Structure 1
Amino acid sequence: MDNITHSLVGALIGQAGLKRKTGLAMPALIVGANLPDVDAACFLWLDGVEHLGFRRGITHGPIAWVLLPLVLAGLLYAFDRWQAKRGTRPEGRLPVRFGWLYALAFIGCLTHPALDWLNVYGIRLLEPFSSQWFYGDTLFIIDVWLWALLGFATWFSLRRERRGGEWRRPARIAIAVALGYIGLNGAISASHGWHSASPLSDSAKTISSPLPVLSFARDELSGKVNDWHYLDGSAEAWVPIVPDEMRCAWPDTVLLRRSNRDLDAFLFWSRAPFAERAPDGSVLIRDARFYHPRARDRFSVALPDVRCESLPVSVRAEEAGRS
């Protein structure tokens, strides 16, 4: 999920009552909820789309869950001691307890992979012990309704606190509603998977991709490598993700990956890869999950030295028959 959502979750957990456990509890929760995204620093040394094969991996796995909160707790504890020595420590701050700082940073950090798992992008939850990708297919990566719920509840709780009212209850109710909202969306995705199972082939995968804003709607994708279709609701038929004239035969990626780091990273990350004809007649490797104008350049790899070979007529006829 996006970092606004991660931050609001950390803040709301604090407003549910945990921020009274120690001084600097809110920074521990909010920063902790964003900690795994330190892997975004990879943009400083990785080119092209190599970041796709790096992000949501080692910093989102079990070792990071333990070590990153420890580093954060240590920094916050040292900051409190530093302010005390300089005489700038706020008088109203609660005593800082390292054990609680670590516990809250740990809780905040755990919410991050839990939320990231919810979308179709994927996360390697067990890295470095396993590089398997996991997908929740439950929420779009930015959910404006979750923003509204979490943001309003945090504001309302803080407002009540300033006025001396009961401020924990609104936050706790909002957390329960958010969990219910996530659970409902998970059930919708599962239901779509059961009722729109693809007739394309026994080996086809089906992906229910949540839409932005229309959070209860789904884009249905089905297929396998270089053979992806979407469910056209109006025609009640599975349609190829790209027209026949734009499709290419799948190139020898085993050999190409050895010399093309972008391609190797992309195929490691990709869940629904296919080959498309570029304007110059070469090959573009894309992912069906992100095949729309705003994402095409970010989620694709160009193979300028590989010519697009049209799919054999027999293959196109077979796919048409399945559709």
Structure 2
Amino acid sequence: MTVMNENPISESRFVQATDTRRSARIGAETISTITVAILCVVLLLGARFISPSLGSWSQVETVLVLGSFLVVLSFGQGLVILSGGLDLSMPAVVTLGGILATNWVGATDPGAWYLLPVVLLVCGAVGFLSAAGIVWLRVPPFIMTLAMSIIVASVLLGYTNGTPRGSAPDAALALMKGHLFGLPTPVLFLVAFVIFGWLFQSRSIFGRYLYAIGTNVEAARIAGAPVTAMRILPYVVSAISAGFVGIMLVGYSNGATLRMGDSYLLPSIAAVVIGGSSILGGRGTFLGTVGGAILLTTLGTIISAIGLEFGLRTIIEGAIVLVALLLLREELFQKLGSLWR
């Protein structure tokens, strides 16, 4: 008996079809990425009018070091959004990574770096549970990840009795406070991570699958994409990224707190949106996300240097996200493209 192939389109044809769809969007994504990069430069240069120290190289290094947390976090969030989902469990998973790093490594043997991958595996398991509820139980991503965030935060509260123990592992301290070739180690790590994230999202088959799934799940399934696996992968990567940010924060601040990840949820989403990604999925670049993360970090640094209140800072950040949503719409870039032609 002859068995008919339900997915007649080979992987090479799938890649070619995906590249064709993405080429139609490359103009808008490139323009949005360049726009965000220009805004970062203008903001840094304009800061010198407020204070000469704000535009100095040391200040740029500070922005890059602080921005590295948001860049890593936004990488995972960007993959989830690209696939058409949303991850609200990030703050709790950031805290999970930080607390486990200080309790399992810092409290016993600060040099036991080999336990840090185990911490990341635990964080990845949280992402897998979120994805399982979304994919197999059909719970909306907003509800599932929010519920997982509450569960993890509650477990951590009971596990620590309200007071996290331990200190930063040596590996985390070396990553966040070391120097190499005359540059801070976090800056070199950021450059390497940006290259890795760009290759993963824009040049790998996994990234192409995510673009296709975010655009149209059923079309991607017919084209032969492993839809179930690719819907789970972003949440696992997002959780691992969040856990790694928790380890980074521990190395930067020498300790963990129960609310260390709370301030990163909205910025992780805002960085993705400001970078030109569609909140509905299927469109966006990691380089744009990096620009959005650096832009928000630069803005926060300048506002803190000026001495504005936290409430006003939040209002300004929210206004920037709104303006980005209005200015970086695809319709606007289509009009600009028609005028250019």
TM-score computed with the length of structure 1 as normaliser:
0.24
Higher strand fraction (1 or 2):
1
Whichever structure has more helix as a proportion of its residues is 2
Q: Which has the higher contact order (CA 8 A, sep 6+)?
A: 2
Return the index of the structure with the highest Cα Rg. Answer: 1
